[in-house]
Chains A and B, each alone.
Chain A
Amino acid sequence: MEDLTDVYNDLIMEHSMNSYNKRKLEKADCSEMGHNPNCGDEITLELKMNGNIIEDMAFSGHGCAISQASTSIMIDTLKGKTIEEAKDIIKTFIEMIKRETTDEEELKKLEDAIAFKNVSNMPARVKCALLAWHTMENMLDNFNKN
């Protein structure tokens, strides 16, 4: 078993308990709900675009510390990025959690989201960390289609 303080570190605890990203957007361009049916975690992401750039994001919902912190930190990481950059970061995050990428240079673009690296050692919690990122991936795909 992983040392728990590696997972429940200060950054993750701070974001899970009192996230400034947990709010409503005034005028969202789109929103997307994500759900882990077997544990009940539920989030809704809201997105405000400015052309091709993610101008603002927020979330609502409930779930465990890892899913909530992962959502909040993802928002910090992706805000201000273009859709292409965001998709690339999401891809890298998913690869990190699934242990498909360990290249330190590659992982740097994740910024604070690198804090979830140790979740890759806890198979039972992988889906908690990935919920927001998969939801965001779907939202960007849908946004592109429209």
Chain B
Amino acid sequence: MKSSEEIKNDFPILKNRNLTYLDSGATTQKPIQVINAIENFYKNYNANPHRGAYSLSIEATEIYENTRTKIANFINAKHREEIIFSKNATESLNLIAYSYGLNNLKQDDEVVISIMEHHSNLVPWQKVCKQTGSKLNYMYINSEFELTKEEIESKITDKTKIVCITHVSNVTGTINDVKNIIKYAHKKGAIVVVDGSQSIPHMKIDVQDLDADFFVFSGHKMFAPLGIGVLYGKREILNNMAPFLMGGDMIEYVYEQDTTFAPLPNKFEAGTQNVEGVVGLGAAIDYIEKIGYDNIQKIEKEVVQYAVEELSKLDYLTLYISPNKENHSSVISFNINGVHPHDVASILDSENVCVRSRKSLCTTTYEIFRN
């Protein structure tokens, strides 16, 4: 088992820039194993998958498609074609909003999201609701930054068609009980979109156990390069959806006035894909599996506990985390009383400490802090 010191040594930038990097929620740094995998791809395998009849292109296709299978296994998808490559979680969510939301929502239907959603799981639904005449309803959090059963069950109704929920909040670190939310939403006839961007770097994901209809995540928050993301969707739902982007490789036959589309997964992967990103994501998954989620959680628990203990000693600092340790991942939000976060970040930056600062990414969640 790798120690935290050995793991730290895998990340060249930490040494090269002498960093204390505490902003992995925004994007993780990349281990040498991922960097090497990308270099190796360009030195030995680069070609356009699915295009050429020459062996190099076939090898590139194999690498690309084998990674799809690797991801399917990693999150326990039933079928490999349920894995669609995208640019990031944001694009995956837009794909769902446009291809599923716009075509399935009607006047007076309801979409339910939580107040702790990232803008990427909020703004697309605002647009889709406006366009279809559906209503966008919010589940609010209590003073411990958690969604109560009562809140969930009062907001998800027989009119609800889509529920969107983040697995782990990027602001409070709250781990939402998505399995039970999904169970309840299904009872009411709604489908559920889970934003796993902040959970998949920290915990084992089993989409079949969760029974999620859609599960999305970004590669770059789990050690993979920027610009690669994943959309998981249940096969029967994806099969009934219209394509999102049109172009090469997502078609079956093209006539002058009409086109038939390729089957899954190509239907949703128009144009030349980010193969470098896919290779990097494959290497990132190998890296996570080599360390093991058990080990990741053990180290995280120690670090979070230490940080919370030490930060709690500072009387000029306010912490915004759930007191319920079991429901808290590794995001630690805090405020230095009377000092604007942007000033705090500049001062920490002068000591090479990288933290996220702002009135959080989620304006809506931030309003709760202020009130």
Please list the residues of chain A having a beta carbon within 8 angstroms of any beta carbon in chain B: 1-2, 4, 7-8, 38-41, 63-66, 68, 122, 124-125, 128
B342 within 8 A of A: yes
Of chain B, the residue at the smallest CB distance from A37 is B363
Residues of B within 8 A of A7 (CB): 346
Task: Flag if B343 contacts A40 (CB, 8 Å).
Answer: no
Docked complex Cα distance between A145 and B283 (Å): 59
Docked complex Cα distance between A1 and B346 (Å): 10
Among all A-B residue pairs, the 10 with the closest Cβ atoms: A40-B359, A64-B340, A64-B342, A65-B343, A1-B350, A64-B343, A39-B358, A4-B350, A39-B342, A65-B340
Task: Flag if B339 contacts A65 (CB, 8 Å).
Answer: yes
Interface string of B359-370 (1 = CB under 8 A from A): 100010010000
Docked complex Cα distance between A122 and B343 (Å): 12
**With A39-B358, A40-B363, A40-B366 known to touch, is A125 a contact of B342 (CB < 8 Å)?**
yes
Residues of A within 8 A of B341 (CB): 64
Please list the residues of chain B having a beta carbon within 8 angstroms of any beta carbon in chain A: 339-343, 346-347, 349-350, 357-359, 363, 366
Task: Flag if A1 contacts B342 (CB, 8 Å).
Answer: no
Residues of B within 8 A of A64 (CB): 340-343
Residues of A within 8 A of B357 (CB): 39
SS of B interface (majority): helix
Task: Flag if B358 contacts A122 (CB, 8 Å).
Answer: no
**With A38-B358, A40-B359, A64-B340 known to touch, is A4 a contact of B366 (CB < 8 Å)?**
no
Docked complex Cα distance between A65 and B344 (Å): 10
Task: Flag if A4 contacts B346 (CB, 8 Å).
Answer: yes
Docked complex Cα distance between A39 and B357 (Å): 8
Residues of A within 8 A of B366 (CB): 40
Task: Flag if B340 contacts A125 (CB, 8 Å).
Answer: no
Residues of B within 8 A of A122 (CB): 346
Partner of A125, one of B346, B358, B359, B363: B346
Docked complex Cα distance between A65 and B358 (Å): 13
Q: How far is the CB of B19 from chain A (nearest CB, A)?
A: 13
Task: Flag if A66 contacts B363 (CB, 8 Å).
Answer: no
Residues of B within 8 A of A8 (CB): 343, 347
Residues of A within 8 A of B359 (CB): 39-40
Q: How far is the CB of B352 from chain A (nearest CB, A)?
A: 8
Residues of B within 8 A of A63 (CB): 340, 342
Apart from A4-B350, A64-B340, what 16 extra A-B contacts exist at CB < 8 Å? A8-B343, A8-B347, A38-B358, A39-B342, A39-B357, A39-B358, A39-B359, A40-B359, A40-B363, A40-B366, A41-B342, A64-B342, A122-B346, A124-B349, A125-B342, A128-B342
Docked complex Cα distance between A38 and B363 (Å): 10
Docked complex Cα distance between A2 and B346 (Å): 10
Residues of B within 8 A of A125 (CB): 342, 346
Most A CB atoms within 10 A — which of B342, B349, B359, B366? B342
Q: How far is the CB of A26 from chain B (nearest CB, A)?
A: 29
Residues of B within 8 A of A66 (CB): 342-343
Docked complex Cα distance between A122 and B346 (Å): 9
Docked complex Cα distance between A47 and B342 (Å): 28
Docked complex Cα distance between A41 and B358 (Å): 9
Of chain A, the residue at the smallest CB distance from B345 is A124
Q: How far is the CB of B342 from chain A (nearest CB, A)?
A: 4
Q: How far is the CB of B365 from chain A (nearest CB, A)?
A: 12
Task: Flag if B339 contacts A40 (CB, 8 Å).
Answer: no
Residues of A within 8 A of B343 (CB): 8, 64-66
Q: How far is the CB of B341 from chain A (nearest CB, A)?
A: 8
Most A CB atoms within 10 A — which of B346, B349, B366? B346
Residues of B within 8 A of A65 (CB): 339-340, 343
Of chain B, the residue at the smallest CB distance from A41 is B342
26 pairs, CB–CB < 8 Å, chain A vs chain B: A1-B349, A1-B350, A2-B350, A4-B347, A7-B346, A8-B343, A8-B347, A38-B358, A39-B342, A39-B357, A39-B358, A39-B359, A40-B358, A40-B359, A40-B366, A41-B342, A63-B342, A64-B340, A64-B341, A64-B342, A65-B340, A65-B343, A66-B342, A124-B346, A124-B349, A125-B346
Docked complex Cα distance between A41 and B363 (Å): 12
Q: How far is the CB of A10 from chain B (nearest CB, A)?
A: 15
Q: How far is the CB of A124 from chain B (nearest CB, A)?
A: 7
Residues of B within 8 A of A128 (CB): 342
Residues of A within 8 A of B339 (CB): 65
Q: How far is the CB of B87 from chain A (nearest CB, A)?
A: 20
Q: How far is the CB of A62 from chain B (nearest CB, A)?
A: 8
Q: How far is the CB of A127 from chain B (nearest CB, A)?
A: 10
Q: How far is the CB of A74 from chain B (nearest CB, A)?
A: 18
